[in-house]
Amino acid sequence: MRQLPEPGYHPYRKGDGDKQPGRDVADNLGMSLPRAIIPGRRYMITRRCSERRFFMRPDRETNNAFVYCLALAARKASVSVVCAGTMSNHYHAVVVDNCGRLPLFLEHLHKLYAKHQNTLRGRWEAFWASEQTSVVELVKPEDLLARMVYAITNPVAGHLVERVHHWPGVESLTAIDHDLPLTATKPIRFFDPENGDLPDAIDLHFRRAPGFEHLSHAEYSKLLRDKVAEAEEKAAAERRAKGIKLLGRRGVLNQHWNSRPGTREPRRGLSPRIACKNNWARVEALQRNQVFIDRYRDARGDHLAGRKTVFPAGTWWLHRFAGVKCAELGATAPPS
């Protein structure tokens, strides 16, 4: 049984001069499993709106703000976006964390977009669901491709539209196909028009998925298009077999932003951290992650006991906010 923090506990409590910086923070028993933040790793990101409500229902301002915030966060954290797509109550993005700053990217994106959307909707309460952001590491090129297709065809698989290009929200297939960025202007709500530090317009470029550099753009585009077409046909076959009615573009746009799906969402399911079709590579990645967790726990135990210690490479939060010492990257983590 977990022991709850004492009354009055706060991770930023002052006046504990006899303790090492961040010891209260590290002893927060409600924290999730640690994750190694390593430059170059690739991820599928998913985050849902509070209560599954349609706070992201497509419209001109909502779409523009998402692209603007995503591009701004990617630039700030040196993250490359491979593809991205929005639904009415969540989004998916496949990204490459070039410099090991993924948490900064997520913080910036989620904070700015939530504030904009709450301003747009006239809301004050939580915009995002209280559950943690889903961050799934993609180990091999085929895993990236599979998740790209999933993200891009999500509106089709959900029987909202027949084809990806019919979707009125943010979709990246067309931009990838034509090798063009999505361009967004500074939103008129929430963002200060006099703030010169924020660009009046910004381009969201889509990076070629790692592992497919050997293909020409035409070959890469065709590969993605063919996979998307397969997913579109699969969804159409399912509708025919089960008699599912397509909602359609107009039906999506006519939904009220404060409504939510009538279906019940599965609860307490597994939240994977790794997606890998290759069994051996998957086992290797899981073992590598377990090594990090074990070394992190050992270092945290030493830290809480007041002993000098070195945290494994990839430790993010305690290194940034508590100034703990971390090992150099090749000393504790094999290359991914």
Q: Which residues pair with 83 in a beta bridge?
A: 94
Total domain count, the chain: 2
Element (H, E) at 156: helix 154-157
Shared domain for 30 and 54, answered yes or no, is no
Neighbours of 81 (CB within 10 A): 22
Last residue of a domain, one of 229, 254, 272: 272
- Say how far apart CA 288 and CA 32 lie, in whole Å: 18
Shared domain for 55 and 180, answered yes or no, is yes
| Residue 321 forms part of a structural domain | yes
Shared domain for 250 and 215, answered yes or no, is yes
| Residue 3 forms part of a structural domain | no
| Residue 4 forms part of a structural domain | no
- Say how far apart CA 190 and CA 119 lie, in whole Å: 6
Q: Which residues pair with 94 in a beta bridge?
A: 44, 83
Shared domain for 171 and 294, answered yes or no, is no
Shared domain for 303 and 321, answered yes or no, is yes
Last residue of a domain, one of 236, 254, 272: 272
| Residue 5 forms part of a structural domain | no
- CATH assignment of the domain containing 147: 3.30.70.1290
Shared domain for 145 and 258, answered yes or no, is yes
Residue 197 is predicted with a pLDDT of 87
Burial of 133 (0-12, 13-18, 19+ CB in 10 A): middle
Shared domain for 257 and 295, answered yes or no, is no
Shared domain for 29 and 115, answered yes or no, is no
Shared domain for 76 and 107, answered yes or no, is yes
Shared domain for 188 and 307, answered yes or no, is no
| Residue 314 forms part of a structural domain | yes
Shared domain for 256 and 289, answered yes or no, is no
Domain, as residue range, for 128: 41-272
Burial of 117 (0-12, 13-18, 19+ CB in 10 A): buried
Residue 11 is predicted with a pLDDT of 39
State the virtual CA torsion across 37, 41, 44, 46 in degrees, nearest 10.
20
Shared domain for 201 and 296, answered yes or no, is no
Q: What is the pLDDT along the chain (336 residues), one digit of tens a residue?
A: 444 444 443 333 344 444 444 444 444 445 578 899 999 999 999 999 999 999 999 999 999 999 999 999 999 999 999 999 999 999 999 999 999 999 999 999 999 999 999 999 999 999 999 999 999 999 999 999 999 999 999 999 999 999 999 999 999 999 999 999 999 999 998 988 888 889 999 999 999 999 999 999 999 999 999 999 999 999 999 999 999 999 999 999 999 999 988 777 666 566 778 888 888 888 888 899 899 999 999 999 999 999 999 999 999 999 988 899 999 886 544 333
